[in-house]
Amino acid sequence: MKNLILASNSPRRRDLLDQVQIRYTVDPSNSDEIIDYTLSPENLVIDLAREKALDVAKRHQHSIVLAADTMVICDQSFLGKPKDADEAENMLQMLSGKTHRVVTGVVLLDTETRRRLEAAETTYVTFGVLSSEEIRWYVESGEPFGKAGAYAIQGLAARFVERVEGCYNNVIGLPIYRVLNLLKEINR
């Protein structure tokens, strides 16, 4: 089997791969994320993941590159990683009392054959109503930073989640079941 290269520095993605005992090497992409908001959320995250995979593939032979990108969509707004505390608070206020979508694009690229598999996974997450004190407390915890939608479902934000419909791991950053099936397919 070829080496698996994870084109991401995300500790959450590494934790998920470790949890299911997948062996991999980390080589984060240096590609600039150019976000085309004219695309559907599914096409946007696949497009971003594809750029990461192609960038990392240049540095590896006889390997499979795994790249992913996650976006949170609420009320037709794309919520990436907050730039500061104000943006994190605004995102959490937007999510309060609503159902939003978490969409992750996954790309596997065989650097030898150039075969590429792409998929998007969507999960619906419903937040309870958040008070301004809860939002402030959460932002002050520091957890919202570096996370799409300004929250980590597996962390302190678990207290805000009323319901999850779909793949829980997708919300963390990698739809493991889908990834494992894509790995089986690309290794055939």
- Reported as a single tens digit per residue, the pLDDT across 116-175 is 999 999 999 999 999 999 999 999 999 999 999 999 999 999 999 999 999 999 999 999
CB 125 within 8 A of CB 148: no
pLDDT tens digits along 9-54: 899 999 999 999 999 999 999 988 888 889 999 999 999 999 999 9
Give the DSSP letter of residue 8.
-
Q: Which of the four pLDDT bands, split at 50, 70 and 90, describes residue 7?
A: very high
Query: Between the CA atoms of 146, 147, 152 and 154, what dihedral angle is there, to the nearest 10 degrees?
Result: -80
Is pLDDT above 80 for 1?
no
Q: What is the pTM of this model?
A: 0.93
CA 75 to chain centre: 19
| DSSP-assigned letters across all residues of 62-85 | SEEEEEEEEEEEETTEEE---SSH
Instruction: List the catalytic residues.
Output: 69
Domains of the chain: 3-186 (3.90.950.10)
Interatomic CA distance for residues 2 and 136, integer angstroms: 46
